[in-house]
Amino acid sequence: MKVHGLFIEKYSLNHKPLSQQLAEHIATHGLQGKVAVVAGKPITLLEATRKYWFRLIRLTENERASTLNAARKEYLEVRLERMRQLQFTAKPPEDLLEADITFATADDFVRNPPDCKMIYITYSFERKKLHMLASWMPRNGVVVVL
């Protein structure tokens, strides 16, 4: 769904933990720039997400090691390099996002709006704050509601 030049994606958690779904979605869609994760408990969600992130790296390494397709192997190598380089933080932003993936509360991001193309919303908060966060996003940015 597209609203005010932004794509809005809504997902249900199914039977996966939030941190696992977040790590998988970032690995699939969030490797092209800075990402903001709006969380009620940023440090807790960061720690759980990083745990799954390292698991995804191991799974990708295993896939790369077992494939015989040279093109697929090269693709997985590039992907692994990017996955290993990503920096995560739960430090509230002061000006620009310093890390690749920043976890903070809605209030933290309202004080210092993130300049990024992708924002993950992981808990409910006032709609006014969501509009303030999204207003700083570029056209064709993506808001993912988990």
Q: Tell me the pLDDT tens digit for each residue of 17-31.
A: 999 999 999 998 877
pLDDT tens-digit map of 111-140: 988 888 899 999 999 888 888 888 888 888
pLDDT tens-digit map of 33-77: 899 999 999 999 999 999 999 999 999 999 999 999 999 999 999
HSE (side-chain half, CA atoms, 13 Å) at 46: 21
Domain range 2-53+87-145, its CATH number among 3.30.1280.10, 3.30.70.20, 3.30.1300.10, 3.40.50.300? 3.40.50.300
> Which residue type does 143 have?
V
